[in-house]
Amino acid sequence: MIDASNGQHLWAERYDGKMDDVFALQDKITRKIISALALRLTASEQKALTDKGTDNLQAYDEFLKGWQGYRLLTKEGFAEAKIHLENAVELDPEFARAYAALAVLYWKAIQYATPELRQGLGLINRAAKNAVRAKPQLLLKKAMKKPTALAHGLMSQFYLLRYQRDEALAEIERAIAMDPNDPELYAWMSNIFWFMGKAYLPDGDLQESLQVLERAKRLTPELSGFVALSQSIIYGIQGRNEEAHTAYEIFLESRQSPVRNLNDILLYFPFADPKTLDRIAEALIKAGVPGNPTDYYRILKENRINGQEIKSLLFGRKITGKRIWNFDKKKSSQF
């Protein structure tokens, strides 16, 4: 082991063993490295050293290959991740960590990925994407039978998109307590703080926000479409309408389907402060989003109802509604 900052040799040793005992050998090597580097681990980190989530060596190998593919953030990587992670849960149907990784893979593809990344999962059009829309939740349900840090982390993002920000924060804190070295978890925590108003853009520090976005685009060009959306919002707030429109066009090119109205975007911006949402709506209209600044659903905390309240409104009552057009069957239907 070499210190990359100065080239200093830190540790080296040779090990021989049988593949049947590879988990034990891996744990032994890990503890040797920890001892050589004089590291102090938390209780959760010590537990993570020995808990691989499965006793099936082949399933664990498939999981590692799949997670590596996911982290490449390429079409080929996503395709490989799907194959290996599905192999992992087939080899061990109780492998909760692999279910969590599969859930993250599909969730990322559905919510944020570029068309190229979605193609790695075979999501080549909107119909294919809609067909697997419920898959991340179903996979996460299996993962939560034995919750891992990754499962708690993804659950936090589900809560966030349901406007349950306190629950989201509690879940991500559980996740980081279990695995404080996973950068994905900190990215998700920053997402929660962003929508709680504890970040540069909602705080009004627009120039610093632009600088951070530029760095993000340089580091991860694959996410430039998503970055461009945030840039279009900032330019719109600043009144730089031409630049806002240019950035918004870049965002549109990264989508598989057109933006019909503000709701298509703002449903994914669950900010706690309604004034922040209003500013973003106005900025997006300046950037070129169809409609008016008031054309979006305001899901405010005071308007939220719990499960029992929903049950009392629906069960034992007759539900009526407007006639809508069913595009698939080319006819209208009543609900």
pLDDT computed for residue 334 by the predictor: 42
pLDDT computed for residue 303 by the predictor: 67
Q: Say yes or no to pLDDT of 168 above 90.
A: yes
pLDDT band at 146 (very low <50, low <70, confident <90, very high): very high
- On whether the CB atoms of residues 101 and 70 are closer than 8 A, the answer is yes
Q: Which two tokens stand for residue 260?
A: 């019909």
Q: Stretch 157-172: mean pLDDT, rounded?
A: 91
- On whether the CB atoms of residues 151 and 143 are closer than 8 A, the answer is yes
**pLDDT 10s digits, 176-202:** 999 988 888 998 998 899 888 887 777
- On whether the CB atoms of residues 241 and 235 are closer than 8 A, the answer is yes
- On whether the CB atoms of residues 288 and 251 are closer than 8 A, the answer is no
Q: Which two tokens stand for residue 167?
A: 């629950």
Residue 331 belongs to what H/E stretch?
strand 331-333
pLDDT band at 64 (very low <50, low <70, confident <90, very high): very high
* Max CA pair span of the chain: 74
Token pair 């070295």 is found at 181
Q: Which two tokens stand for residue 269?
A: 């911006």
- On whether the CB atoms of residues 154 and 140 are closer than 8 A, the answer is yes
For the chain, the structural domain boundaries read 1-40, 57-195, 200-302
The top-level CATH class assigned to 57-195 is mainly alpha
pLDDT band at 239 (very low <50, low <70, confident <90, very high): very high
pLDDT computed for residue 305 by the predictor: 72
pLDDT computed for residue 88 by the predictor: 97
**Cα angle vertex 120, ends 52, 67, to 5°?**
15
**pLDDT 10s digits, 254-306:** 887 788 889 888 888 888 888 888 999 999 999 999 988 888 877 666 666 76
- 303 CB contacts (<8 Å, ≥6 apart)? none
Q: Which two tokens stand for residue 22?
A: 């590879």
pLDDT band at 36 (very low <50, low <70, confident <90, very high): low
Helices (H), 94-198: 96-111, 115-119, 126-131, 135-143, 149-161, 165-178, 183-195
- What is the secondary structure of 272-304 as a DSSP string? S-HHHHHHHHHHHHHHT-SS-TT-S----GGG-
Residue 332 belongs to what H/E stretch?
strand 331-333
pLDDT computed for residue 130 by the predictor: 87
Q: Stretch 36-61: mean pLDDT, rounded?
A: 70
